[in-house]
């Protein structure tokens, strides 16, 4: 049997390494990822200690700050279930009632959820203009 050329060996080694690294990367992405959930799903499925990416809309009149902690409620985009989040860390400028936000949370005591520090992001409102209502289109 002919011995494989040096080029074939190099190619095999390189490809094997690439496959091993890619497998590691894929495995860790699944194990390190946080499920993205809305408030309804979070209330149903949240397990203690596990982190979730919570997305939804900040409920009107729910925002209050006590010392370093910002407490607010997030509801489903179409309304309905809402969860209370105790958050500390950077608050993005566009954060306000009625805005869509994403925050990493874990289940806390007493039915509340604790936001991971500096994990709150708010969608840029300028990018969310719906098309003009048909009635007002000329």
Partner 1 sequence: MAGLGRACLLLILAVCAYGIGAGLYSARFARARGERESWLDSARRCIYAVALLTTVAMAVLEVAFLRNDFRFYTVATTSSRTTPELYRAAAIWASQEGSLLLWTWLLSLWSSLILLLTRRRLRDAAPYAISILLGLCAFFDALMVFYANPFNTLRRIPAEGDGLDPLLRFPTMILHPPMLYSGYTLAMIPFAFGAGALIARRIDAQWIRLIRRFALASWLFLGIGILLGARWSFAELGWGGYWGWDPVENAALLPWLTGTAFIHSLMIQERRGMLKVWNASLVLATGTLAVMGTFLVRSGVLDSIHAFGASTLGVPFLVLIALLIGGSIYLVVSRRPLLRSEHRLESLLSREAAFLANNLVLVGLGFVVFWGTYFPLISKVVAGQQSSVGPPWFDRYTVPLALVLVALTGLGPLIPWRRASLAGLRRHLLPPLAVGAAVGLGLAVGGLGSSPSAVAAVSLCAFAIAVTAGEVVRGVRVRTAVAHELPAVALIRLVARNRRRYGGYLVHVGIALLLIGVAVSSSFMRQQERQLAVGQAVKVGPYTVRYVKPTASLLNGPDHTGATIDVGAVLEVSRNGRRQFLIKPSEGFYPTTEAGQGPVSALIGGQAVSHIAISAGIGGDFWSAIEPNIHTPRLTEILERANRIVQPTNATEAAVALAVLLREYLREAPPAQFNLISYPFVEWVWLGGLVGLLGALIALIPPPPPLLARARAKVGSLVGAVAEG
In the complex, the residues that contact partner 1 under the rule CB under 8 A are 7, 10, 14, 18, 21-22, 25-26, 28-30, 32-36, 53, 55, 65, 67-68, 88-94, 96, 100, 102, 104, 118-119, 121-132, 135-138
Q: How far apart are CA 92 and CA 15, in angstroms?
A: 44
Closest approach of Cβ 27 to partner 1, in Å? 12
| Shortest distance, position 121 Cβ to partner 1, whole Å | 5
Of the pair 68, 110, the CB lying nearest partner 1 is at 68
Query: How many CA atoms lie less than 13 Å away from 96 in the CB half-sphere?
Result: 4
User: Can you tell me which residue has the tokens 């194990």?
Assistant: 31
The minimum distance between CB 22 and partner 1, in angstroms, equals 7
Instruction: Name the residue nearer to partner 1 (CB basis): 93 or 111.
Output: 93
Q: Which is nearer to partner 1, 4 or 124 (CB)?
A: 124
> What H or E segment, with its residue span, contains residue 13?
helix 6-32
CB 71 within 8 Å of CB 80: no
Q: Shortest Cβ distance from residue 130 to partner 1 (Å)? A: 6
Strands 113-115 vs 52-58: parallel, antiparallel or unpaired: unpaired
As given in the structure block, the two tokens for residue 111 are 């039915």
């Amino acid at each position: 049997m002919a011995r494989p050329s040096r080029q074939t060996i190099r190619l095999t080694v390189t490809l094997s390494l690439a496959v091993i690294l890619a497998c590691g990367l894929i495995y860790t992405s699944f194990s390190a990822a946080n499920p993205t959930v809305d408030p309804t799903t979070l209330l149903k499925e949240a397990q203690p200690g596990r982190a979730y990416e919570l997305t939804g809309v900040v409920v009107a009149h729910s925002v209050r700050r006590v010392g370093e902690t910002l407490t607010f409620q997030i509801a489903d985009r179409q309304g309905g279930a809402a969860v209370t989040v105790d958050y500390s860390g950077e608050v993005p400028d566009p954060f306000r009632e009625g805005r869509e936000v994403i925050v990493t949370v874990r289940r806390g005591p007493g039915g509340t959820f604790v936001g991971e520090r500096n994990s709150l992001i708010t969608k840029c409102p300028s990018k969310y203009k719906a098309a003009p209502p048909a009635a007002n289109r000329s």
